[in-house]
A and B are shown apart, each in its own frame.
Chain A
Amino acid sequence: MILVNRETRVLVQGITGREGQFHTQQMLEYGTKVVAGVTPGKGGSEVLGLPVYDTVKEAVAHHAIDASIIFVPAPAAADAALEAAHAGIPLIVLITEGIPTLDMVRAVEEIKALGSRLIGGNCPGIISAEESKIGIMPGHVFKRGKVGLISRSGTLTYEAAAALSQAGIGTTTTVGIGGDPVIGTTFKDLLPLFNEDPETEAVVLIGEIGGSDEEEAAAWIKANMKKPVVGFIGGRSAPKGKRMGHAGAIIMGNVGTPESKLKAFAEAGIPVADTIDEIVELVKKALG
């Protein structure tokens, strides 16, 4: 298990909005230790019995907080992430979709310099199965087990987790890193954590077309990974130059093609599944 456990104390930024409120309820039901919320202008109120503050600074003055999850609308989302980082929150999960790319370019660099870890944006969040979720995924499909899961997609991750759970293999921690062109944390950043996590026996990496994060991950795996990794690439039949739903799922020129990613995986000795069922089979094989 990495990043999140049942002790992780969570702040919700944008807690009074429809999405924020709904998912706070879901997280509490899952067992997540949500301690407070922030909505600028709504300080002093309460949501689901949790205190709401105007600023993250006020929230951290009253509570010990390990992580923040952000449901703030796109125009203000990068600012909210920066606010969390400046308040010293070490782990920031940015759910919001549709954030301007240049906002993220600026925020990602600054948040990193402040020493916080940003997951997302445009991501489903993090879940450590049967412990805690800081995200929007349906908790019941994640059974506790052996596999660490990292993915650029949402629904497809739930599919993979459900299949692994049904097969009796289960997951440790699943991280949805997000579908945008610039995200805080990439595959390569999380692999070292899974590599050192005693509970994780294998890693499944669900990539897709666009960018070169899969290629970089493959190079890191080849040089450093002690555990078996199974890969998957979505959008293999997608046409060039067309955005496939995710802002980041686009082949631009020669960058981001499935061929390049499959080649990188092959060179690193990473078996690639063509279907969700094959992910399970390849993991079974890898675990022996």
Chain B
Amino acid sequence: MNLHEYQAKEILARYGVPVPPGKVAYTPDEAKRIAEELGKRVVIKAQVHVGGRGKAGGVKLADTPAEAYEKAQAILGMNIKGLTVKKVLVAEAVDIAKEYYAGLILDRAQKRVVLMLSKEGGVDIEEVAAERPEAIHKFWIDPHKGFRAFEAREMVKQAGLEGNLNKIAQVLVALYRAYEGVDASIAEINPLVVTTDGQIVAADAKIVLDDNALFRHPDLAELREIEAEHPLEVEASNYGFAYVKLQGSIGIIGNGAGLVMYTLDLVNRVGGKPANFLDIGGGAKADVVYNALKVVLKDPDVKGVFLNIFGGITRADEVAKGVIRALEEGLLTKPVVMRVAGTAEEEAKRLLEGKPIYMYPTSIEAAKAIVAMVGGAA
């Protein structure tokens, strides 16, 4: 789950990372009032779950409260990459002497969290990583010992960061404690600023939370913003489906993430474009299949559905019963092709005999059929 910059900064501040004073505003009036309270030059920053806010015009400086009102008015309601800006962060502008990068992320190959530190902050770190990997210094943190102050100091020296050594090291230690404390999967300060008067502050921050650990952070789970997600993704997640909205026209349903990914790949290979990824999971009963069809067919982009089932723990006849219920309730307004194999395959085929469902013996034949029915790439 992605957090907004202001939420990430609130968390970091709780763990002892200095952040510029600021508050969230939902209206230009609020922005003006916050600027008055701060009594200094402020920066107004769009709070939306998408990168590249600055380039899109979602970040502006304001010298006076009146200007803060104007700038907030311009940013609020702005559309950034399809998302409407509903709130802005109004924070004290910092006088930058140096801009660094500090980030924590899981290194899957090393099976440890890695701290990345670079003198080249304030820019896209992935570009730095691609062009000059030597500019990024890495330290793999022992999960049982944690990240110690001396290790942080050594890192700061190694990366060649200038400024108060102890203060920067403290920020890095606090960043790791925050990462562990909220069960993050990414925690990033970019830029980590050394101000002209020698202070160290996190001028921008990003935290992504591990969805699997949200159960132990109910306060953070509440920060999930339904309106920022695709409505069908919300509906699917309420049914417990793994669902991803895609750009094409063919609805895809299958059991098992691997099989669904394979089905997407096959449809693509034969010239079609999947409208979604939907995994009904293992051991699904008829009602689960019915609900999956309901969600997928609600998508106006969907012109046909490919249901791909390999029965293991999931029984193919249960799947067939779900399809029949959807059929009887008039839900199947678009062509449905189906491929079933494995446990209770014969029963499923018997149940579906004579029904207006297109059955194919293999995944590839079913993929070709649905693409022929709804047409290829638009």
Contacts and interface: CB of A to CB of B under 8 A. Distances in A.
A-B interaction: yes
Interface of A: 74-75, 98-103, 105-106, 108-110, 136-138, 141, 151-159, 162, 179, 181-182, 206, 208-213, 216, 234-239, 242-249, 253-255, 274-277
A193 B264 CA distance: 33
A106 B183 contact: no
Contact of A138 (B142, B274, B343): B343
B202 interface: no
B343 A244 contact: no
Most buried by A among B106, B242, B312: B312
A99 B126 contact: no
Interface stretch (B55-63, B165-173, B251-259, B286-294): B251-259
A209 B113 CA distance: 20
Tell me if A's interface is mostly helix, strand, loop or mixed.
loop
B261 A141 contact: no
How many residues of B sit at the interface, in one of the four size bands? Answer: 35 or more
A55 to B, nearest CB: 23
B312 A99 contact: no
Contacts of A216: 109
Interface of B: 106, 108-109, 111-113, 126, 129-130, 142-144, 180, 183, 185, 210-213, 215-216, 242, 244, 246, 254-262, 264-269, 274, 277, 279, 282, 310-313, 341-343, 362-364
Contact of B111 (A136, A182, A239, A246): A182
B106 A181 contact: yes
B111 A156 contact: no
B130 to A, nearest CB: 7
Given A138-B313, A246-B257, A276-B363, A238 B264 contact: yes
B342 A234 contact: no
A129 to B, nearest CB: 15
B143 A141 contact: no
A106 B113 CA distance: 10
Nearest to B214: A100
B213 A156 contact: no
Given A153-B261, A154-B258, 8 more contacts: A103-B213, A162-B342, A208-B258, A213-B108, A234-B258, A244-B244, A244-B261, A246-B258
A109 B279 contact: no
Contacts of B256: 153-156, 245
Given A181-B106, A275-B364, A105 B111 contact: yes
A137 to B, nearest CB: 6
A235 B310 CA distance: 17
A-B residue pairs, 4 tightest by C-beta: A153-B258, A245-B257, A155-B256, A156-B258
29 contacts: A74-B212, A98-B212, A101-B185, A102-B213, A105-B112, A106-B143, A154-B256, A154-B257, A155-B258, A155-B259, A155-B312, A156-B256, A156-B258, A159-B259, A159-B262, A162-B341, A206-B258, A213-B108, A234-B258, A236-B265, A237-B274, A242-B244, A244-B242, A244-B260, A245-B260, A245-B277, A254-B126, A275-B364, A277-B362
A79 B363 CA distance: 40
Contacts of A246: 257-258
A247 B212 contact: yes
B216 to A, nearest CB: 7
A275 B216 CA distance: 41
B111 A109 contact: yes
A249 to B, nearest CB: 6
Most buried by A among B130, B142, B256: B256
Contact of B143 (A109, A152, A179): A109
Contact of A136 (B216, B279, B313): B313
Given A98-B212, A102-B210, A254-B126, A208 B106 contact: no
A90 B27 CA distance: 61
Contacts of A151: 258
Contacts of B246: 239
B277 A244 contact: yes
Nearest to A210: B108
A138 B90 CA distance: 57
A156 B265 CA distance: 13
Contacts of B311: 138
Contacts of A153: 256-259, 261
B180 A102 contact: yes
A64 to B, nearest CB: 30
A158 B213 contact: no
Nearest to A247: B212
Contacts of B242: 243-245
Contacts of A274: 265, 269
Most buried by A among B109, B144, B279, B310: B310
Contacts of B258: 151-157, 179, 206, 208, 234, 245-246
Contact of A99 (B111, B212, B261): B212
Contacts of A212: 108-109
A102 B183 contact: yes
